[in-house]
Amino acid sequence: MAQEQSLRDGRYVVRAVLGEGAQGITYEATDEQTGASVAVKRFNVGSARSWKEVELAERETRVLATLDHPLVPRYIEHFEEEGGLFLVMQKVEGETLDAIRRREGPMSETEVRRFLACADRALTYLHGRASPVVHRDVKPRNVVRRPDGSYVLVDFGAVRELLVRGGASTVVGTIGYMAPEQLQGRALPATDVYAVGATALAALTGVEPETLPHKGLRVDVRAALEGRTSPELVAALERMLEPDPDVRPRSLAAALDGINTSLPPPPPHRGEPLAVARSGVALRERAPAYPADAVESAKEDAMVKSARSLLWMLWGLGWILVPVVLAEIHAARAIPIVMFGSMAMLLVLTWHKGALLRPLFRKLGLTTDTRRLEAADPSLRLPSAPPVFDNRVRVAEDNAHIRVRGSELPAEDAFTATDVSSTTPESEARRRR
């Protein structure tokens, strides 16, 4: 794709290539609607060598659309164009851990501890979801350090949802950063713990983990670091790089138990910092995290998938029912015509993930073409996907005492509430009385 090419009817203007991988190419582009820089990942669906590659691409778009965390790229939308599948997401400003390591050599222990603290926050969120999400490809190239010092996990092309079953698993990952169980097609939260440990060790030594000293399947952490790192961090890395997933800590927090990590202040949640009004009150409503049609699109996808499964199941039952019916009317010779003719119709209806079923459902009023509705009337905009944060903060000129409570609920009613009460000498005296 040439630079300066536009996509999505001119909304995104491609500026440069950010990176290229096995699944496709990621471009830097400008969102002409907002003026913001975005990352556009094009999947080479047309030249995919197997259906599994297409499934991985669709899985990345589906999973990323459900995530909402400051240390994970923000999903914007995905679409099909020019025979390819495009995923648009927030462009994470900064430099990859791999680029930093190549330029500066081995990183300091303080900086690696900061990376581990950020990775702990990100993995706690991913692994703690109702359907745990395993990244499966944490490595220096997939970690970006922002200008504020925080580290973001990027490239969810190998992501897997543990509670979603979709056929046999695929061996995905990068040699040196893959836990041994990944070679068996297995993926656990502890799998990401191993990859983070290998990434931290690569940052500390400046070389790839597979070239470091080994004892059997175990990386010899002490020999690799040669006394250049504190004993407690060496012990933590040894726990993370334990080859046996049943012995390895199931969470990064457990592996880092007793380690004092240095964590920079968390970046503002998808927006500028809250303004502080001298009058004592500041108010901010955060913009929706996702496009307004994300929820309805997900419902439509689920409906189409269910319809396809139902139709094929009925076709399979037809091999039992149709011969009985046709035998009753002495038309047994028509069985192949009926069954294979109906199969041809099903292939047309379910072609390309049910492309023909979608307009049919919309015409019947079973689903909603939200883009068309919103173009006609912006007031019909659907609520965005969760979690949605509604922040209202009252700031006193002296001191402010803020209590935050949060909960992760289903998509339709997830929220986070913020209670604020200002504390002044007079109010504190009244409270004590």
Catalytic residue numbers? 137
CB 206 within 8 A of CB 226: no
Let me know how many helices (H) and strands (E) the chain has, helices first.
13, 17
Amino acid of residue 38: V
Cα separation, 196 vs 174, whole angstroms? 12
Contacts of 172-175 spanning 24+ positions with Cβ under 8 A: 172/56, 172/136, 172/137, 173/136, 173/137, 174/137, 174/139, 175/210
CB 60 within 8 A of CB 156: yes
Q: Minimal CA–CA distance to 386: which of 314, 295, 258, 255?
A: 295
3-state DSSP helix/strand/coil percent for the chain, to nearest 5? Answer: 40, 20, 40
CA distances 296 to 203, 205, 429, Å, are 43, 48, 52
Reply yes or no: is the peptide bond before residue 387 cis, omega within 30 of 0.
yes
Cα separation, 385 vs 237, whole angstroms? 37
Reduce the DSSP state of residue 209 to 3 states and report it. helix
Cα separation, 380 vs 210, whole angstroms? 55
Cα separation, 258 vs 121, whole angstroms? 16
Q: Would you say the C-alpha torsion 81, 82, 87, 90 has a positive or negative sign?
A: negative
Backbone angles phi, psi at 87, to 5 degrees: -115, 120
Relative orientation angle of helices 231-240 and 109-127, to the nearest 10 degrees: 40
